Amino acid sequence: LDLLDLRPASHRTPGLCRCMGPAPERNLRTVAGCSGSGGATDSSPCSGAVSESSCSFSGVELTEAMAMLEPEVWGTEPRFPKAGRFRPRLRYLWLRCLGGVFKVCSCRCRKPHDWEDPTVFARGTVQPHTMLAASGASPRVDGSAVAAPSVHEQDACNRLVLSGETWRFRFFEVLSPEQVPAQEFSGKDVKDEEWDEVSVPSNWQIQGYEAPIYTNMAYPFTGCPLRKPKLEPNPFGVYRRRFKLPLTFVQEKRQIRLILHGVSCACYCWLDGHLLGYHQDSGTPVEFDATKALEHGAAGTEHVLVVQVLKWCDGSFLEDQDTWWLNGIYRDVVLYSLPADNAIEDYRITTTVDPPFNDGADAEVSVEIAVRCRDACSVRCVVQDGTDAVAEGVQGLADDAQGHLCMMFGHGVKVFHVRMRMLRPKKWCPEQPKLYTLTMELRRGGSVLQTERWDFGVRDVRISNAVLQLNGTPLLVNGANRVEMHPIRGKALTDDDVLEDLIMMKRFNFNAVRTAHCPNKLSFYHFCDQLGLLVVDEANSECHGLAMLASVSYLQCDPAWRGAYLHRVEAMFGRDKNFTCIIGWSLGNESGFGSNWQACCDWLRACDTSRFVQFESGEAHGDATLIMGDGRHPASDIVCPMYADPERCMALAASETRPVIMCEYSHAMGNSNGALHLFYDVFHSKEYPTVQGGFIWDFVDQGLRAPRKPKPRSLEDYHLKGNFGYGGDFGSTSGAADKWFCCNGLVNTDRRPKPAMEECKYLMQPLTMSASLSELGVKTRVQHRTGRSLRGLMLRWELIDDCRVITLRGSQKLSDACDQDLELHCSGYCKGTGGLWVRVWTELEEPTNYAPKGHVVAQECVMLRAPAPAGASHQSPRACIGSRAPLATALPTGVASVKHQGDGDEVTIQGSSYTASIRGGLLVGLRDVAGREILSTGHGASLDHSFWRAGTDNDRGGADVFFPQLAGILPRSMLSFARQWTDVGLENLTSRVRDYSWQGEELTVDSDHGPERGRHFFRSSVRMSFGASSVTLRVKIVPNHRSGIVKLPCLPRIGLRFVLAPEFSRVSWLGRGPHECYPDRKASAPWCVHQRSVEDMHFPYMVPGECGGVADVHWVALQSGDGRGLLLEYSSDDAPPPEEGLLSGSPGARPAGMSGAQVSAARWTPSMAHAAAHDFELLPAGRHCSEEPVVLHVDTAHSGIGGTGGATDAVWRFHKQYLIDPRTEEWNYTVTLTPLGPKQLEVAAGE
């Protein structure tokens, strides 16, 4: 029964979850044999000697945690419905039996080392708590920048920051840390003058001491947690820092604490040769009591801090988090002091808002303050709005910490309870993140012993009728997952780095962040409080690698690991519990579910009833998970699946009685995020109110720059010559198996927003806007989605004609209402012919802490009058009738002169504005009247058919990515699109002319397109009509249904490829734009006239592929600086594709909703892009981009880019309605080529 762990906690064998109570005079945890005084055991950390005691959590029994879940804890009106519980059944029993077998088979005679023993995770550490004022100042946002924090003199005097300077460092590349006795580096008198100097905070891989490692799932070290882990090789680094204490630390009796805010992955600490303790958990701070180690030092005495950082420990099995494995002291190190006898150790702030929870409701502020006191003390609390006091309370009596307060604050403290009423306080929300300041004073008699300050917001989070509400209003989570990573500094982010990411999120209308997959740097939460970003705080726990053994829940079902899991949850909650921005707790990521996770759930719910608890890795059946969860475990307050598609979200809404908020969705790897607008159709639908958004995976690419050796002197000393790399770029052990799977963000490594960010901003914008013609001009309606006031916004508008000329513009201040109708008086400008659009946008009237005045919050572009059609209307609908380009002068009519030469194989056609050359039925040259080249042959044939594209990351996504050695035996459905296209040879098709014939000025060419050997894949028929001023290509494509393409899930593209002279670098078009857009990602790209350069159309994704395209194009012109160039006009006689729908649908002749051509222009061919491993490798060294010919694609059909995800599909799933069906009967389209002279087509520059 002990092995299966099925009995109630109160009846288990003592020791499984036993409390090790700390000394009452200090708020210290005594874990795994630490002394009650707070010092660690005297045994050497390398000796392997550990206490036989089992570890515990928070100084209370697990049975006491369970007792906390009685109904009275939740109150008469709970904010969250009581969740279900873990249901141990067959899967759980199988994992427990498996664990028993492994433990019997792996018995050892010796005791494991600390770093290999899951029951040892902390020695001599202080109970996790809110960061006190003396330990660090709260950073502030001022004008989108980090402002100097308001530091109170008393707090500054009681703080000594040890980081921010160079430390002595030595790297020990050993098999195991036990090989190097601690005496060689831990003593105060160790000679370290010859050691290297490194900056702290930092990661030692970023400083050249080792190659960084990236893995998605696999553990990058030997050892298996199914038995006692043995981690070898296990190198370590030693940091040494000399310092002197300030006079304020020694002039009076004070308690001195040492905080290391982030160390990866485990560390021992010595101070003046005295061992302070041991800790593991890379995501949360570790704090030691340094009083005894420093008590004999006088003012001016030099002290030495030594930190031994291990690369691996058993806790590494809980940190397999789809990111780089980087080690070192990567966050700040601080010494601070508190009064010795009477001091505030911790506090908890909660707000309770009266119904109906809006700005007009009163609220109660409850403050629980844990005090270590030997004298009679009192506590005074004051809530201030600026300098005005709005609430005050005094408490003179304190109680011993019991129940959930003991769990929260630990033993040996007194708890003061102060409750204050606030009358109609402004509520904190993403749109108006109002913060108040709480000042807490610990008093003895008439003197103030200690002052603590905290900025907090008043807000209410609850689930009502299966809908998550914020301040009584349904909440839509416009979120992103954010991994703490910087391309230059690794995990050692500065406050400026953090703020840069959050500012970008706010400017692109995100309102929520999930801390994937561990608690973030402390300033992150302060910034989120001030900016109004909602946070789901995630514990530092993920063991994704065990899913490869179908045992992802093993550690969650093993009692030996329970303390480690609870420690991580407790550390997260202890530090972050007072941040207003945090609306929910996440137990971790991709780790299965078991009795240990249930204990974590119980602990959190006992301590916090004001936030929801979520966990993705459980399943609806409630038992342990073996491979992947579905986000539906009954212990989770919300349903939080991964990569559910819109159809799955709708099904969950129908079957669940909880909110549905995806913890990850719309995988943003490379050119991705297709069909994002369909998710928002569901999010905004009144039919599915419980589907409330989610967190896109993820925010920023994790590209990295790493040196080859310490102290690099030039770019030659860096891998890739200083360019950003991914897994495998830094050596064979740096993650070659998972390659660039770390680069799946909405933002490039260098923080350049990808085009998909424009889609996010548009879909997440808080306003809806519409416009239509009226008698007075244009009628516009603006409405806030959440019913908030439009105050503070300015509406601006402009009329645009089909040459992008702004004919009129205006502005108007919006009212305090939540919606407003406006008349734009411009009737005189709305008459006439040709295309006419109105662009309306709202911008900030005044600067905010995240954006300057004039920042665009929302925008819309509406076509008021369609441009002139290119052809006559038909009775039957057509896929694209086309539109006429607004040429300045009329084109000559008539036909061109056709002149045959030699045997008739070579033909010259002379028009009024061009000369065309035909050889063997192919158009091989096109020149203007001056004989200058228009079509080029620099990148292959000047004109050819195109059926393949350079693979996007989603195209390349499949089981063959992770298991390339099995690609030959895997089912075809598991292979990536790119692999299937390559297997049939789609990228190497050869065009062979079957026949061609002339009839007057018309040439008809029939060709086959296929591999060198075997059946052709496509048969084309092109009818070329040579007019006086233009060449018209009428194209018919028929696929061969008896060839290999019929087995393909889809085709990449059907279209033409042109190669133009290098000088034609300016691109103008009528279609979607101006940013990159595709059939399944174009909601944010208005259909209008746009202009960009060829270079600007390219986006530098980490790994090159199909990119830079624009959708629904009717005409496109490529011109040189003097206006010469080529105009291409497109139309299609095929039936229009079906309308877009929420269901995935099925592939068709053209993607759903496609109403024009897909066009792209680049300086390289698809083959060149597909072959390049990095964007900087697109062109050979020495070749300049502007000298390369322009490769132009005009596609009548082009598959979407995917990234939707699905309940059973991979993250790169494509919505099938946006794919091209290879079983289509035929495609018919027309492209007209018109050479342009100077000033013949003038489109206004800019957007």
Which is the catalytic residue, given 116, 500, 590, 1076?
Answer: 590
Tokens of 612: 């929801």
Residue of 293, 298, 309 whose CA lies nearest to 258: 293
Which is the catalytic residue, given 500, 538, 647, 664?
Answer: 664
Residue of 662, 703, 283, 700 whose CA lies nearest to 502: 700
**β-pairing, 122-123 with 319-320?**
unpaired
Q: 184 an active-site residue?
A: no
Measured CA to CA, the distance from residue 170 to residue 186 in angstroms comes to: 12
In the Cβ-directed half-sphere of 750, how many Cα atoms lie within 13 Å?
9
Measured CA to CA, the distance from residue 217 to residue 730 in angstroms comes to: 19
Q: 1076 an active-site residue?
A: no
Measured CA to CA, the distance from residue 641 to residue 631 in angstroms comes to: 4
Measured CA to CA, the distance from residue 1016 to residue 581 in angstroms comes to: 60
Q: What are the helix (H) ranges across 320-471?
A: 403-409
Measured CA to CA, the distance from residue 403 to residue 73 in angstroms comes to: 11
Question: How many Cβ atoms from other residues are within 10 Å of residue 1062's Cβ?
Answer: 18
Measured CA to CA, the distance from residue 606 to residue 62 in angstroms comes to: 11
Measure the CA angle with vertex 598, ends 596 and 599; round to 5°.
Answer: 65
Do the beta carbons of residue 1076 and residue 1108 sit within 8 Å? Answer: yes
Residue of 744, 664, 760, 755 whose CA lies nearest to 700: 744
Question: How many Cβ atoms from other residues are within 10 Å of residue 987's Cβ?
Answer: 17
- 108, burial (CB in 10 Å: exposed 0-12, middle 13-18, buried 19+): exposed
Tokens of 699: 């925010």
Measured CA to CA, the distance from residue 146 to residue 124 in angstroms comes to: 35
Q: What does the H/E/C string look like for 576-631?
A: HCCCCCEEEEECCCCCCCCHHHHHHHHHHHHHCCCCEEECCCCCCCCCCCCCCCCC
Tokens of 1227: 């495609």
Residues 673, 678, 680, 683, CA torsion sign = negative
Do the beta carbons of residue 724 and residue 703 sit within 8 Å? Answer: yes
Q: What are the helix (H) ranges across 608-694?
A: 646-655, 676-683
Measured CA to CA, the distance from residue 237 to residue 210 in angstroms comes to: 11
Do the beta carbons of residue 413 and residue 371 sit within 8 Å? Answer: yes
Measured CA to CA, the distance from residue 891 to residue 303 in angstroms comes to: 87
Q: Is 845 helix (H, G, I), strand (E, B) or coil?
A: coil
Do the beta carbons of residue 1164 and residue 1211 sit within 8 Å? Answer: no
Instruction: Say which residues have a Cβ less than 8 Å from residue 1218's Cβ, sequence separation at least 6.
Output: 674, 675, 1079, 1080, 1151, 1152, 1199, 1200, 1202
Tokens of 641: 């699946």
Q: Is 980 helix (H, G, I), strand (E, B) or coil?
A: helix
State the DSSP H helix or E strand holding residue 291, giving kind and residue range, or none if neither. Answer: helix 291-294
Sheet holding 767-773, edge to edge: 767-773, 777-784, 819-825
Distance (Å) of CA 696 to CA 163, 579, 665, 673: 34, 23, 5, 9
Residue numbers annotated as active site = 590, 664
